[in-house]
Amino acid sequence: MIVFNRLAASLPTLLIVSLLVFWFVDFIPGDPARILAGPMATQEEVDVIRDAMGLNEPAVTRYVRFIEGIVNPDVAVSLRTGRPVATEIAERLPNTLIIAIGGLVVGLLAGTITGVICALRQGTWIDTVITVLTLAGISMPIFWLGLLCIWLFAVYLGWLPPAGAATPAHFVLPILTVASRPAAMFSRLVTASLLEVMGRDYLDTARSKGLSESSVMVRHALRNSLVAAISVAGVQFGAMLGGSVITETVFGIPGIGRLLVDAVSRADYPIIQYSILLFSFFFVLINLVTDLLTLWLDPRTRKSEGAN
Amino acid sequence: MAFSAGALFAEPSGILRVAVGADPETFDPHFNDLPTGNTVDLLVLEGLFRLDAENNVLPGLATDHEFSDDGLTLTVTIREGRTFSNGDPLDAAAVAASFTRMLDPEVGSIYRGLYSSIDEVVAIDDLTVEIRLNERNGHLLLLLAPTAASIINVKALEEMGAAYSRQPVGSGPYMVESFVGGERYRLVPNPDYEGDYPATLEAIEFLVVPEDGSRMALMETGDVHIVERVPPEAISTIDALESAAVITPASMFSINMEMVLRGPLEDIRVREALNLAIDREGMVQGILGGLGTPSVGMPGPGTQNDLRVTFDPIPFDPQRARELLAEAGYGNGELELTMTCPTGRYIKDVQVCQAIQGSLQAIGVNTQANIVDRGTWSQVAATPPGDRTDNMAMLGRATAGMDYTLYRLFRSGVSANTTGYNNPRVDELLVDGRATNDLDEQRAIYGEVQEIVWEEMPFIYLWYQTQALGVADTVSGFAVQPNETMVFDNVTLNN
């Protein structure tokens, strides 16, 4: 029931987004026909292109076609290539997801391990080193870190290819780069929540049952930070989809982010509209999943939801 | 002549890897507008004519051509026995079908307007086509030579649909083997090719990397043999590599600040003052890292160089500029101007605009620089001069021939004319120049146009762009056309 309610609540959000996404392109400066025709084109040349693009039709007709395009890919074609937007997106989505999911998993692992180390070795040199690194991970812009990684691992050490997406090795640098921020966030989160519960009685109880320190950590203390970690993971996953615009440009990866950047510079409206709609859909989905996971993990929220 | 004996007999060998900055997205010549797409079309398709690395017109599929006495029909004879890479015959009917598709309003090619002089293209027999015009056009061969006029296989296109844009069926020396959008595309030799430019390489692989730093890294690691668009700040790094060097071929792009000839800018003294205020040499060396030459007239070099007239460089003379402003009635700080500048459209565009702002400030002109995104910029440039709220905009112009460039920029009322330039004598000359195919007449006509325009200074003339590419020492025979199309006709790899 709760699941159904949440799902139903997402639909109006998507509808509003679809309207916004559709209308906003009318407010973007620049005529796509003019951009495609180039600055040397005469007005007649631009008019020919405008007409061919269907830009002279009324807004309502174009909106209906936009919505129709969600279910019927043949209606929604790129202004530039004439191929269905669905095909363009489907070809590129896997690359974006590989990097986002890969980055999240690597970030989660690295963050948890360093977080536990910091909590256990609080105040030692290793704690200081990790704290400095996490601060750097949170503060450093991704494009800058990406270029540094390319210089170090590809140009200087020669271990990995600098750019492209031809082999799995091409994905290592982008994944490591995007993992930096979630790793830093998780590390801080885990340290903080461990330090908070470490003195609590229930951990002493666990210890007194004869459990080793590591199983106390993993089974009792860490579990407590899981709920917070899931909401952070949701936010980070969303941020990574948004950040794909930058990551994919730096590493020359053909993903949705690059598709969107290229489409913006060429005013390829259908690609822009459907990519943003897809991003919005992912955000709604991520929120839904984090909400449901939180409900499932934390009985307290489940009860209060039920009472409503 | 155009080929070497070695290239004719040697088996194609070696895999050439090239890093490019822009995804061509489509190889359909009727829709492609990027040099990366032209590069592929030049290898995969053939036209009736083609351009060499200096933009001279050479025969392609055409063996002979003749204008009718009234100048309204061009009869072209094509080579015998040629086929497309899928085996279909490349006869006169196929040539006519290709042009008919480009001119079809339903198809919506972005080049239909450019070829509006052509009424229809008709196959007379197997090897003869007639190109029928609706106006005399003495520059028709220059229009038929770029890759936009390449011959595509319309029959294959109709069968393949949108897939054709990524794997066009042509008659050129190479074929597109694969195209992964936004990432890479690979060309391999066309075994049935019978023309003068046979494939010399086993494969040409292109990698698309828009970010400058990452693209340069591919050259530094030796992952690619050629990298295009080397930014000024990376030239020394690429040049310092042991096994590669930077080449700087001429470009057909001229960058200028195009003034709107209204209000204070109606006064030639003001326009001259603004021109004298600019230190072009300092700008080219200091900001562009040498990737340009100070402008000495429009059009710049690139096409029909023998019809060009060049003038003495404009001196950098702020003192004289101040005097001219005073003569025109503007004291220190009394003239206020607004300029529109794109960001990321031309090399170092924003920095150049800031430098111009400083130079104009130095002669007592308060200048506001509106730095805008590409969409806004293209909108400003497309606004009729009478409705503009700014005084000038930075624009790059391609020199694809005298008629193309001068007619579009200086004929009154043409929409690419952003200055509102209106000179009845120039209008008359431009119409005459378009109609004649007599080279001496063209030289006299366009010489006069170039002189009048230079005297009247509708632009703050800036520079002619220079290209920069990194090329590995193992590559020989590589050339680049002034429109950034790469030419691989004679390229060999020596390992």
- Are A29 and B213 inside 8 Å of each other by CB? no
Q: Does A249 touch chain B (CB under 8 A)?
A: yes
Model confidence at B2, pLDDT cuts 50, 70, 90, reads: very low
Q: Are B58 and B1 in contact (CB under 8 A)?
A: no
Percent of chain A with pLDDT over 70: 93
Mutation target to probe the A interface, by most A beta carbons within 10 A, among B17, B102, B116, B211 is: B211
Which residues 347-406 of B have a C-beta within 8 angstroms of A?
Answer: 372-379, 381-382, 395-398, 404-405
Cα A204 to Cα A195: distance, rounded to the nearest angstrom: 14
Q: Does A38 touch chain B (CB under 8 A)?
A: yes
User: Looking at chain B, which residue has its C-alpha nearest residue A37?
Assistant: B110
The CA-based angle B176-B179-B180, given to 5 degrees, is 170
For residue A250, give the nearest of B182, B211, B405 by CB distance: B211
Tokens 């040397």 correspond to A40
B306 Cβ partners below 8 Å, 6+ apart? B443
Secondary structure (3-state) at B248: coil
- Per-residue pLDDT, averaged over B64-70, amounts to 93
- Are A45 and B215 inside 8 Å of each other by CB? no
For residue A81, give the nearest of B165, B396, B416 by CB distance: B165
Q: Does A142 touch chain B (CB under 8 A)?
A: no
Cα B410 to Cα B449: distance, rounded to the nearest angstrom: 9
Cα B142 to Cα B155: distance, rounded to the nearest angstrom: 27
Q: Does B186 touch chain A (CB under 8 A)?
A: no
Beta-carbon neighbour count of residue B492 at 10 Å? 20
- Are B416 and A41 inside 8 Å of each other by CB? yes
Q: Are B142 and B85 in contact (CB under 8 A)?
A: no
The CATH number of B254-465, from 3.10.105.10, 3.40.50.150, 3.40.710.10, 3.40.50.300, is 3.10.105.10
Structural element, H or E, at residue B62: strand B62-67
Model confidence at B181, pLDDT cuts 50, 70, 90, reads: confident
Model confidence at A153, pLDDT cuts 50, 70, 90, reads: very high
In a 13 Å sphere around the CA of A107, the CA atoms on its Cβ side amount to: 31
Buried b / exposed e over B361-382, threshold 16 CB at 10 Å, is: eebbbebebebbbbbbbbbbbb
pLDDT in tens, B236-246: 999 999 999 99
- B375 interaction partners in chain A (CB closer than 8 Å): 28-30, 35, 267
Q: Is the dihedral of CA A113, A116, A118, A120 positive or negative?
A: negative
Percent of chain B with pLDDT over 70: 98
For residue B110, give the nearest of A36, A163, A166 by CB distance: A36
- Are B416 and A252 inside 8 Å of each other by CB? no
User: Looking at chain B, which residue has its C-alpha nearest residue A50?
Assistant: B108
Q: Are A52 and A82 in contact (CB under 8 A)?
A: no
The CA-based angle B17-B19-B25, given to 5 degrees, is 110
Class of domain B5-178+468-493: alpha beta
User: Looking at chain B, which residue has its C-alpha nearest residue A81?
Assistant: B26
Confidence at residue B455, expressed as pLDDT on a 0 to 100 scale? 94
CA distance A94 to chain B (A): 13
- Per-residue pLDDT, averaged over B311-332, amounts to 94
Tell me what ipTM this predicted complex has: 0.79
Tell me the domain boundaries of chain B: 5-178+468-493, 254-465
Beta bridge partners of B338: B368
Tokens 């319309």 correspond to B154
Model confidence at B128, pLDDT cuts 50, 70, 90, reads: very high
- Per-residue pLDDT, averaged over A200-220, amounts to 73
- Per-residue pLDDT, averaged over B79-87, amounts to 93
Pairing, β B492-493 against β B475-476: antiparallel
Cα-based torsion angle of the residue sequence B96, B98, B100, B102 in order, rounded to the nearest 10 degrees: -150
Chains A and B form CB pairs within 8 A to the count of: 165
- B373 interaction partners in chain A (CB closer than 8 Å): 29-30
Confidence at residue A40, expressed as pLDDT on a 0 to 100 scale? 65
pLDDT in tens, A40-55: 677 777 787 777 777 7
- Are A48 and B105 inside 8 Å of each other by CB? yes
Mutation target to probe the A interface, by most A beta carbons within 10 A, among B15, B23, B110 is: B110
- Per-residue pLDDT, averaged over A95-120, amounts to 90
Token code pair at residue B462? 């800036």
CA distance A41 to chain B (A): 6
- Are B110 and A45 inside 8 Å of each other by CB? yes
pLDDT in tens, B471-485: 999 999 999 999 899
pLDDT in tens, B462-472: 999 999 999 99
Token code pair at residue B417? 């004319």
A280 Cβ partners below 8 Å, 6+ apart? A13, A14, A17, A21
Res A254 pLDDT > 60:
yes
Cα A26 to Cα B330: distance, rounded to the nearest angstrom: 42
Q: Does B319 touch chain A (CB under 8 A)?
A: no
- Are A41 and B415 inside 8 Å of each other by CB? yes
Q: Are B258 and B393 in contact (CB under 8 A)?
A: yes
Which residues 112-131 of B have a C-beta within 8 angstroms of A?
Answer: 112-114, 116
- Are B221 and A35 inside 8 Å of each other by CB? no
Looking at residue A123, its amino acid is G
Cα A85 to Cα B42: distance, rounded to the nearest angstrom: 28
Confidence at residue A299, expressed as pLDDT on a 0 to 100 scale? 65
- Are B395 and A34 inside 8 Å of each other by CB? no
Q: How far is CA A236 from the centre of its chain?
A: 7
Burial of A5 (0-12, 13-18, 19+ CB in 10 A): exposed
Q: How far is CA B363 from the centre of its chain?
A: 35
For residue A254, give the nearest of B163, B182, B404 by CB distance: B182
- Are A163 and B112 inside 8 Å of each other by CB? no
Confidence at residue B449, expressed as pLDDT on a 0 to 100 scale? 96
Mutation target to probe the A interface, by most A beta carbons within 10 A, among B112, B160, B183, B221 is: B183
Confidence at residue B7, expressed as pLDDT on a 0 to 100 scale? 45
Cα B344 to Cα B232: distance, rounded to the nearest angstrom: 14
- Are A31 and B116 inside 8 Å of each other by CB? no
Peptide bond into B299 cis (omega under 30): yes
| Count of helices and strands (H, E) across chain A | 15, 0
Which residues 199-238 of A have a C-beta within 8 angstroms of B?
Answer: none
- Are A155 and B26 inside 8 Å of each other by CB? no
Fold (topology level) of A92-307: MetI-like fold (1.10.3720)
Which residues 156-175 of B have a C-beta within 8 angstroms of A?
Answer: 162-163, 165-166
Q: How far is CA A2 from the centre of its chain?
A: 26
Structural element, H or E, at residue B433: helix B424-435
- Per-residue pLDDT, averaged over B401-425, amounts to 90
Model confidence at A302, pLDDT cuts 50, 70, 90, reads: low
- Per-residue pLDDT, averaged over B39-61, amounts to 92
B191 Cβ partners below 8 Å, 6+ apart? none
Res A236 pLDDT > 60:
yes
Q: Are B412 and B421 in contact (CB under 8 A)?
A: yes
Q: Are A160 and A172 in contact (CB under 8 A)?
A: yes
A156 Cβ partners below 8 Å, 6+ apart? none
Q: Are B132 and B72 in contact (CB under 8 A)?
A: yes
Res B196 pLDDT > 50:
yes
Q: Which of A11-20, A250-259, B351-360 has the highest mean pLDDT?
A: B351-360
Q: Are B152 and B170 in contact (CB under 8 A)?
A: yes
User: Looking at chain B, which residue has its C-alpha nearest residue A160?
Assistant: B221
User: Per mean pLDDT, which range of A29-33, B99-103, B432-436 is the poorest?
Assistant: A29-33
Model confidence at A308, pLDDT cuts 50, 70, 90, reads: very low
- Per-residue pLDDT, averaged over B263-289, amounts to 94
User: Looking at chain A, which residue has its C-alpha nearest residue B380?
Assistant: A30
Cα A237 to Cα A98: distance, rounded to the nearest angstrom: 12
For residue B217, give the nearest of A34, A36, A163 by CB distance: A163
Report how far apart, in Å, the C-alpha atoms of B412 and of each of A303, B415, B446 are. 76, 9, 16
Confidence at residue A14, expressed as pLDDT on a 0 to 100 scale? 84
User: Looking at chain B, which residue has its C-alpha nearest residue A39?
Assistant: B416
Cα-based torsion angle of the residue sequence B373, B376, B378, B379 in order, rounded to the nearest 10 degrees: 180
Res A300 pLDDT > 70:
no
Cα B180 to Cα B158: distance, rounded to the nearest angstrom: 22
pLDDT in tens, B142-155: 999 999 999 999 99
Confidence at residue B446, expressed as pLDDT on a 0 to 100 scale? 96
- A36 interaction partners in chain B (CB closer than 8 Å): 33, 110
- Are B382 and A84 inside 8 Å of each other by CB? no
Confidence at residue B5, expressed as pLDDT on a 0 to 100 scale? 41
- Are A161 and B221 inside 8 Å of each other by CB? yes
For residue B113, give the nearest of A45, A82, A154 by CB distance: A45
CA distance A83 to chain B (A): 6
Q: Are B457 and B268 in contact (CB under 8 A)?
A: yes
User: Looking at chain A, which residue has its C-alpha nearest residue B160?
Assistant: A83
- A28 interaction partners in chain B (CB closer than 8 Å): 375
Q: Does B203 touch chain A (CB under 8 A)?
A: no
- A82 interaction partners in chain B (CB closer than 8 Å): 26, 28, 31, 162, 165
Res B39 pLDDT > 80:
yes
Res B139 pLDDT > 80:
yes
Token code pair at residue B20? 């490019």
Nearest-10 crossing angle of helices A85-120, A125-139: 160
